[in-house]
């Protein structure tokens, strides 16, 4: 099962699925180990196995923490660039409103259409994991109009310079947002995370605990803790998908401001 398939499910369902599979794997590994390796053999090697298990567990914990921070950082960047893009769209609208000329009405309509397209058309596409075109017609039209403006006084010239600067920043913020939705955690990291988690839980079966029930309970809890961290990574590594995602609220606020 691919991480994007898990991210498309409700968070509670994905959590139950991942935890259930982890617990089932942990219990199965312990039962198989009990059948293949006699209890007294495992107890005789507890000291060596415990030392190796500590190293394996620490290594996997460090890897989990690294990938979790990577996913969290990517999510925060996606949120920040979304807020910046919406803020720049509002700045452009205000700057256009301060200029004079027959083109101002069409420019206001273009920036309003851009914010509306992002909130109502592009956001659902990103929520489904689809690809959004980098060039947006309304933004391209607005930029072309702004480039051809020739202010006839100093005040309009200053506003025009600010408008061009904010349009450039808006285009850059748009590209960063689209990039944030197209750069998930590499597949090799998912492979290492899942495989490493399985090895860590399975290696615990080499330890010889007197009570089978106690050992299965400990293995199940170990597997559950790893699965929950993986769930967080899956949720945060897709910033525009799932129950935990960056919302279009900044653009909705901008649209409300433009409408008023």
Query: 32-52 as b/e, with b when 16 or more CB fall inside 10 Å?
Result: ebbeeeeeeebeeeeeebeee
The reported pTM is 0.83
pLDDT at 243: 82
pLDDT at 49 over 90: no
Q: What is the Cα–Cα distance from 94 to 78, expressed in whole angstroms?
A: 25
The pLDDT score that the predictor gives to residue 121 is: 92
Are the beta carbons of 244 and 235 closer than 8 angstroms? yes
Q: Where are the domains of the chain?
A: 3-259
pLDDT tens digit string along 71-99? 999 999 999 999 999 999 999 999 988 88
Band of pLDDT at residue 5, cut at 50, 70 and 90: low
**How does pLDDT run across 164-192, given as a tens digit for each residue?**
999 999 999 999 999 888 767 888 888 99
Place of tokens 């460090």: 62
Q: CA-based angle 27:186:223, to the nearest 5?
A: 15
Place of tokens 């129950």: 243
> What gap in Å lies between CA 255 and CA 89, rounded to an integer?
10
Cβ neighbours of residue 112 closer than 8 Å, sequence gap 6 or more: 93, 255, 258
3-state secondary structure of 44: helix
How many helices and strands, by DSSP H and E, does the chain display?
11, 0
Token reading at 15: 């959590």
The torsion defined by the Cα of 28, 34, 37 and 40, in degrees rounded to 10, comes to 150
For residue 259, pLDDT over 80 is answered with: no
Nearest CA to 160 out of 173, 149, 145, 172 is that of 149
DSSP state of 210: S
Q: pLDDT averaged over the chain? A: 88
């Amino acid at each position: 099962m691919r991480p994007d398939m898990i991210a498309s499910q409700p968070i509670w369902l994905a959590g139950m699925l991942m935890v259930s599979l982890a617990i089932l794997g942990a219990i199965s590994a312990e039962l198989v180990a009990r059948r293949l390796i006699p209890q007294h053999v495992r107890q005789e090697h507890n000291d060596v196995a415990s030392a190796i298990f500590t190293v394996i567990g620490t290594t996997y914990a460090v890897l989990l923490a690294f990938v979790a921070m990577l996913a969290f950082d990517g999510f925060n960047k996606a949120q920040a660039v979304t807020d910046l893009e919406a803020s720049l769209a509002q700045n452009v609208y205000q700057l256009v409103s301060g200029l004079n000329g027959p083109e101002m009405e069409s420019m206001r309509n273009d920036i309003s259409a851009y914010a509306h397209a992002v909130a109502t058309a592009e956001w659902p596409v990103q929520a489904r994991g689809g690809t959004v075109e980098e060039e947006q017609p309304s933004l391209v039209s607005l930029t072309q109009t702004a480039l051809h403006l020739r202010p006839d006084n100093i005040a309009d010239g200053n506003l025009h310079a600010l408008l061009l600067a904010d349009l450039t920043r808006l285009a850059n913020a748009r590209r960063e947002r689209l990039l944030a939705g197209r750069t998930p955690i590499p597949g090799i990291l998912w492979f290492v995370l899942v495989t490493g988690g399985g090895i860590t839980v399975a290696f615990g079966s080499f330890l010889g605990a007197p009570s089978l029930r106690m050992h299965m309970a400990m293995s199940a809890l170990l597997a559950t803790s790893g699965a929950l961290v993986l769930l967080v990574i899956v949720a945060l590594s897709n910033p525009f998908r799932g129950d935990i995602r960056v919302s279009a609220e900044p653009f909705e606020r901008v649209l409300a401001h433009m409408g008023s």
